[in-house]
Amino acid sequence: MPEIQLGCHTVRSHGVQVAKVHMHDWLILLVLAGIDLGLNLIEPFHRFVGEDMMTDLKYPLKVNTVPFWSVPIIAVLLPLAVILVYYFIRKDVYDLHQAILGLLFSVFITAILTDAIKDGVGRPRPDFFWRCFPDGKGVFDPTTKDVMCTGSKSVIKEGHKSFPSGHTSWSFAGLGFLAWYLSGKVRAFDRRGHVDKLCIVFLPLLIAALVGVSRVDDYWHHWQDVCAGSLIGITIASFCYLQFFPPPYDADGWGPHAYFQMLAESQNRDESSSNNANSLSVQPAELTSIYVQPHNGAELSRGNSGDTNSMLHGHENGRRHPSIGCL
């Protein structure tokens, strides 16, 4: 596909058309957002935590290095800013729309999987003791030896959501999608061996990894939680990117599937129109040739017919070539 065609489709010219085609996808996103909200409201599973298990759960209760409110900024707004910058450079609404859609699907699907597993597993955080007993005095059931928490219910509820790490999964979902997106745009796998392109691709992944490390340093998560969250995020990001874009190593890896599908449909319509016009133009020449044939100018009429067809073919080729520039 000729890349010169990119830039002919803006939000003003094709935005409504593209949005209508994917209206059901936006509705699904709203459903996913509602599901994730519900998962955050329900009470997670409270697994048994015995007195002898508290040894590994007495890490200090610290403030988040990466606050909760900053996660959407890192995972959504930062990749979105890069996508918007690319749109203002190339002016292609197909790339803009598909990239935003893929990014949001990546984040919301990851959020649902993460929160569902959190609620189902109910693993205590490393600082669970101080969440459960803020005064430092442990209280346990005399029979089962299970904890009998005396702290705030909201703090205790959050203390049962250690596995997997939501900060990490969100970060790898959004920034992992951005890494895929950048790898296609800079043609990181064009077989020319430019390592600087890989540095651009790995930068978002480094930021996501540092977010995961902060969760262990703050004693909000075990290292297994962070590893699981990163795997969930990068896996979902990969699936969502490949749903909307070709692989970065593909010859057409710089653009979305929808863009090339639109080009193919436009070319088919142009070819169909050209063929119809060609058939209508050729018929009079054929009739003239048949009419003139009984006279002595048969050879001349055949020659004229051939010349007419050659002119038509030349005209047809001339029409197809300019259509490559902008559809």
Q: What is the pLDDT of residue 287?
A: 40
- Residue 237 CA to residue 235 CA, distance in Å, equals 5
| Helices and strands (H, E) in the chain, number of each type | 12, 0
147 three-class SS: strand
**pLDDT digit of tens for each residue in the chain (327 aa)?**
444 444 466 656 565 667 777 788 899 999 999 999 999 999 999 999 998 889 899 999 999 999 999 999 999 999 999 999 999 988 888 889 999 999 999 999 999 999 999 999 999 999 999 999 999 898 999 889 999 999 999 999 999 999 999 999 999 999 999 999 999 999 888 888 788 889 999 999 999 999 999 999 999 999 999 999 999 999 999 999 999 999 998 887 787 877 777 777 767 776 666 666 555 554 544 444 444 444 444 444 444 434 434 433 433 343 333 333 344
CA torsion sign for 175, 181, 186, 190 is: positive
Neighbouring C-alpha atoms within 13 Å toward the C-beta of 101: 23
Alpha helices by DSSP H, 220-256: 223-244
Enzyme catalytic residues: 167, 221
Whole-number Cα distances in Å, 101 to 64, 106, 108, 140, 245: 30, 9, 11, 49, 11
Strands (E), the chain: none
- Residue 120 CA to residue 93 CA, distance in Å, equals 40
Asked whether the beta carbons of 59 and 127 are under 8 A apart, the reply is yes
Q: What is the pLDDT of residue 315?
A: 38
306 three-class SS: helix
- What is the pTM for the complete model shown? 0.78
At 9, phi and psi to the nearest 5? -125, 105
User: How many beta carbons lie within 10 A of that of residue 75, not counting itself?
Assistant: 31
Q: Which residue reads 């909760």 in tokens?
A: 68
- Residue 49 CA to residue 145 CA, distance in Å, equals 8
Q: Which residues contact 314 (CB under 8 A, 6 or more apart)?
A: none
Burial class (CB in 10 A: 0-12, 13-18, 19+), 283: exposed
* End-to-end C-alpha distance for the chain, whole angstroms: 13
At 49, phi and psi to the nearest 5? -130, 100
Nearest to 99 by CA among 112, 86, 89: 86
Contacts 24+ apart (CB under 8 A), 309-317: 309/282, 309/285, 312/278, 312/281, 312/282, 313/278, 316/274, 316/277, 316/278
Asked whether the beta carbons of 162 and 123 are under 8 A apart, the reply is yes
Q: What is the pLDDT of residue 316?
A: 39
Structure tokens at 253: 């890896």
**DSSP letters of 49-65?**
-BGGGGGGG-------S
Q: Which residue reads 């596995």 in tokens?
A: 163
